[in-house]
Amino acid sequence: MSDEHYFSQTPNTEFRPKEISVELDGRKVSVTTAGGVFSPDHIDTGTQVLLEHLDQVPPSGDLLDVGCGWGAIALAMALHSPHATIWAIDVNDRSLELTRMNAARLGLTNIKVCRPEEVPTGLKLNGIWSNPPIRVGKDVLHEILLTWLPRLEADAEAFLVVQKNLGADSLHRWLEAEMPANYSTIRVDTAKSFRVLRVKNRG
Ligand SMILES: C[S@@+](CC[C@H](N)C(=O)[O-])C[C@H]1O[C@@H](n2cnc3c(N)ncnc32)[C@H](O)[C@@H]1O
């Protein structure tokens, strides 16, 4: 499947689950993936770059993975911060199903998997970690970011990984221009052609 369609609500390929071995939060685990979702054969390189910063995931509170895919980021956060609640959201039903399956098989009870509109209105977030869906196009991406970033608590941060040649620097400029004055965005890492941007609500 081409990755243009990994964000379809209902993938049109048959659901054929498969096992892959991955390392999450320093632990070797088996997870279930399938065609029709993002990066089903391994942890995406950008996601790996983001997960190098896992030590900065807050130990508690409500944390969000925007666009969870089969769950790589949400699962790693949940393993790293067992006292936090991880909201894993996606618009792709197969992604949601796989993330639920993977949370269950890793015995993680601190992940809530749901569609974006099912996150309680008014829930404030203590952190956002995301490999956001760039291929949906700028307008949709901006709408997604304008939905979730303003929900950061004071002093809370979002970590976003974006490929350099898919517009990481223009997204950085857009965040600086469009976020409220009490938000700041800095680049905290560049590796393997990806940038990690940290957006902070300074309160
Ligand atoms: C680049 S993938 C990252 C997947 C996973 N987090 C990972 O790192 O492997 C982006 C994900 O965002 C999802 N997505 C697309 N539009 C979305 C939206 N409006 N809200 C939430 N997730 C969305 C896609 O279905 C896809 O699973």
What pLDDT score was predicted for residue 4? 44
Mean pLDDT of all residues in 167-188: 97
Average pLDDT value for residue range 103-132: 98
* Angstrom distances, CA of residue 60 to CA of 63, 78, 148: 8, 10, 18
* Cβ–ligand 1 contact at 66 (below 6 Å): yes
95 lines ligand 1 (CB under 6 A): yes
Q: Is the pLDDT of residue 108 over 60?
A: yes
Of the candidates 41, 99, 31, 35, which has an alpha carbon nearest to the alpha carbon of residue 66?
99
| DSSP codes, 82-95 | TEEEEEEE-S-HHH
Query: Which protein residue's CA is at the shortest distance from atom 4 of ligand 1?
Result: 69
Spell out the domain ranges in the chain.
3-201
Q: What is the dihedral of CA 143, 97, 10, 1, to 10 degrees?
A: 100
State residue 12's pLDDT score: 76
> Residue 9's pLDDT is what?
73
Cα(34)–Cα(19) distance, integer angstroms: 9
Task: Examine the pLDDT at 18 and tell me if it is beyond 60.
Answer: yes
SS3 42: coil
Instruction: Inform me whether the pLDDT recorded for 5 exceeds 70.
Output: no
Distance from the alpha carbon of residue 92 to the mean position of ligand 1, in angstroms: 8
What are φ and ψ of residue 59, in 5° steps?
Answer: -75, -20
Confidence of residue 2 (pLDDT cuts 50, 70, 90): very low
More confident residue, 118 or 4: 118
Which of 9-18, 44-53, 155-164 shows the lowest per-residue confidence on average (mean pLDDT)?
9-18
Structure confidence at residue 6 (pLDDT): 64
Class assignment of domain 3-201?
Answer: alpha beta
* Whole-structure pTM value: 0.96
What mean pLDDT is predicted for residues 135-143? 95
Strands 183-191 and 194-201: antiparallel
Distance from the alpha carbon of residue 28 to the mean position of ligand 1, in angstroms = 23
pLDDT confidence band for 7 (50 / 70 / 90): low
Side by side, the strands of the sheet bearing 152-163 are 111-114, 83-89, 60-66, 125-130, 152-163, 194-201, 183-191
C-alpha 53: how far from chain center: 13
Does any ligand 1 atom lie closer than 6 A to the CB of residue 36? Answer: no
Mean pLDDT of 11-28: 93
For residue 34, which of 88, 94, 92 has the smallest C-alpha distance? Answer: 94
pLDDT at 13: 84
